[in-house]
Amino acid sequence: MTLPPNTKRFLEEAGAISQFTGRFFREVFRPRYEWAAFIHQCYMIGYKSLPLVGLTGFIMGLVLTMQLRPSLIDYGVESELPAMVGIAIVREIGPVITALIFAGKIGSSIGAELGSMKVTEQIDAMEVSGTNPFKYLVVTRVLATTFMLPILVLLGDAISLYGAYLGVNIKATTSFSLYYTQVFNNLSFGDVLPAFIKSFFFGFAIGIIGCFKGFNSSKGTEGVGRSANSAVVLGSLMVFIIDLLAVQVTDILGLN
Amino acid sequence: MSNTEAAILIENLYKGFGSNQVLKGFNLRLNKGENLAVLGKSGSGKSVLIKCIIGLMQPDEGEITVLGESIRSLNQDEMDHLRVKIGFLFQSNALYDSMTVRENLEFPLRRHWMEISDKETNDLVMESLENVGLAHTVDLMPVELSGGMRKRIALARTLILKPEIILYDEPTTGLDPITSKEISDLMNALQKKYNTSSIIISHDMNCIQRTADRMILLVDGIAYAEGEFDTLKASTDPVILPYFE
């Protein structure tokens, strides 16, 4: 049986990404450990993404509150606004929006950087100088995205909740302590933990796809652009797929 | 001459990509202290050949012995250890463009000589840069350098670990004739200073004439002809003649 070309290409790519991921897990536990490069990547990927994540989180909290208020007034439950906003941000909007922003900024940057290194033979140069480029470039970046995204999600959630607090106070007056009491009283373990755990998977997927696309870049500068672009597209798609799976898993585990 | 006296010995090397067989039983011997040029048309497999020597590509068949070690029998760590003794100058220079010139030169040092002090590192970096006449560029980024300067910096990085063998992949491609001559002279000077053995992949006849003790003509995947520049230049073989016209 002959497979249609697109199906064949999709399966080949899925197989190649699986192999790449398998290599990551083989290399990650083998010495030598690239601590300095890992810390540098955490700084570049985590710290340098904070302003963008913070700003988008703040706007998201503010806008979400302003959009929700009229509907809640119609139903006569305006007082539930902090609780609703809090749950929406912590459970879903915070992790997913932060991950999408992260995929756009970091996924494309990794894809372009490694792609450029690939086509200008910098990765080969690293290898001939006796350095394992997979370990030095890929493992450090994937670990950094995996561990930095959950931290960014927590910080983004906090900034977003503050934006929502300002949004609540645009047309009403709610004290800081009352607002946060309402938010946290309505949040449970089952709201916070699954959202936090899934952001590790978001970070891993964004990192591994960005690295895969960059590491397998070809055809000169055109290929670099394509690597960056497809790293964002596939990374964002993976965020939604993981989110869908996470909802199913938390439902099965009774955490919803 | 026994194998141990050869810096590199290649026997019956085959390498192909799908239906395109590039190397078809290629043989080569690089003696210690020798500069050997490999000449061939674009796409004849010259770069593939040196990528097989350094382990960036795996040959389909054949034996490659470098400094007495068969590279097929080496594991990754042993190969990395051997690579320290082999410098590789890339056609594109392959300087790390997110690092300064100093960081580019420090990178291989810090990876392999982990006990080295900051002062020793700095001394070696400056010595390498002085060898290529570019000590003043130490804090510049590669993007701020001209093509010829980038080539010299790449050469300095290649030499910083004091390799016994240097593989040059098209060292003068893309450079103007004057800069090409300077790079060729620099290669000669450094070869004499550090007593390295070299394989020079090129189709620049001026560079080959200036630098090579001996040359091999790679045609249809085999070492078609071998000898000194003047000997091959005097050949009346219709396959060899076009290379010297």
Residues of B in contact with A36 (CB under 8 A): none
Q: Which domain holds residue A239?
A: 34-252
Question: Comparing A158-172, A227-241, B2-16, B56-70, which segment has the lowest mean pLDDT?
Answer: B2-16
Q: Which residues of B touch A131 (CB under 8 A)?
A: 80, 107-108, 111
Q: Tell me if B94 and A116 make a contact (CB, 8 A cut-off).
A: no
Query: How many beta carbons lie within 10 A of that of residue A238, not counting itself?
Result: 21
Any B CB within 8 A of A131 CB: yes
Residue A30's pLDDT band (cuts 50, 70, 90): confident
pLDDT score at A233: 95
Which candidate from B56, B84, B96 shows the least CB-CB separation from A122? B96
Say if A170 falls within a structural domain: yes
Asked whether residue A2 is domain-assigned, the answer is no
Residue A170 has a pLDDT of: 87
Q: With respect to residue A12, please indicate whether it lies within any of the assigned structural domains.
A: no
Query: What span, in angstroms and rounded, lies between the C-alpha atoms of A137 and B105?
Result: 18
What percent of chain B stands above pLDDT 70?
98
**Spatial distance between the Cα atoms of B53 and B59, rounded to a whole number of angstroms:** 9
Can you give the pLDDT at residue B1?
44
Neighbours of B160 (CB within 10 A): 25
Shortest distance between the Cα of A37 and any Cα of chain B, in A, equals 12
Residue B108: which of A116, A120, A129 has the nearest Cβ? A129
Selecting from B92, B98, B108 the residue whose C-beta is nearest the C-beta of A121 gives B92
Q: How far is A133 from chain B (nearest CA, A)?
A: 12
Say if residue A26's pLDDT is above 90. Answer: yes
Q: B83, A113: Cβ pair inside 8 Å? A: no
Across the interface, whether the CB atoms of A120 and B80 are under 8 A apart is answered no
Task: Tell me whether residues B97 and A120 touch, CB distance under 8 A.
Answer: yes
Mean pLDDT of chain B: 89
pLDDT at B214 over 80: yes
Choose the weakest-confidence range: A126-130, A188-192, A196-200, A220-224: A220-224
Question: Is residue A91 situated within a structural domain?
Answer: yes
Domain total in chain A: 1
> Average pLDDT for residues B94-120, to the nearest whole number?
88
Nearest CA in chain A to B89: A125
* Cβ of residue A43 closer than 8 Å to a chain B Cβ: no
User: In this predicted structure, what is the pLDDT of residue A223?
Assistant: 84
Give the pLDDT band (50/70/90) at residue B2. very low
Residues 6 or more apart whose CB falls under 8 angstroms from that of B171 comprise: B89, B91, B151, B155, B183, B184, B187, B200, B202, B207
Specify the pLDDT at position A167.
92
Residue A20: inside a domain: no
* Mean per-residue pLDDT, B159-179: 88
Whether residue A11 is contained in a domain is answered as no
Distances in Å between the Cα of A29 and the Cα atoms of A22, A41, A226 are: 12, 18, 31
Closest residue of B to A132, CA-based? B80
Q: Average pLDDT of A80-88?
A: 92
Note whether A130 contacts B112, CB cutoff 8 Å: yes
pLDDT over 70 (residue A128): yes
Closest by Cα among B218, B171, B236 to B198: B171
Region B167-191: what's the mean pLDDT? 87
d(CA A77, CA B34): 87
The answer to whether residue A9 sits within a structural domain is: no
Q: Would an 8 Å CB–CB cutoff place B96 in contact with chain A? A: yes
Interval A189-202: pLDDT, tens = 888 999 999 999 99
Does the pLDDT value for residue B86 go beyond 70? yes
Query: Rounded to whole angstroms, how far apart are CA atoms A141 and A213?
Result: 13
**Is the pLDDT higher at B2 or at B201?**
B201
pLDDT score for A243:
95
Residues 84-123, chain A: which have Cβ within 8 Å of B?
A: 113, 116-117, 120-122
- For an interface test with B, the pick among A128, A132, A137 (most B C-beta atoms closer than 10 Å) comes out as A128
Q: What percent of chain B is predicted at pLDDT more than 90?
A: 51
> Average pLDDT, whole number, for chain A?
92
Per-position b or e across B181-195, b if 16+ CB within 10 A of its CB: ebbbebbeebbeeee
What's the pLDDT at A185? Answer: 92
A111: number of Cβ within 10 Å? 29
When pLDDT is cut at 50, 70 and 90, the band that residue B3 belongs to is very low
Nearest by CB to B80, from A117, A122, A130: name it: A130
Q: Which of A135-144, B72-81, B107-116 has the highest mean pLDDT?
A: A135-144
Decide: B162 and B195 in contact? Cβ < 8 Å: no
- Residue B197's closest CA among B59, B60, B32? B32
Examine residue A14 and state whether it is found in any structural domain, yes or no. Answer: no
pLDDT > 70 fraction of chain A, expressed in percent and rounded = 99
> What pLDDT sits at residue A2?
80
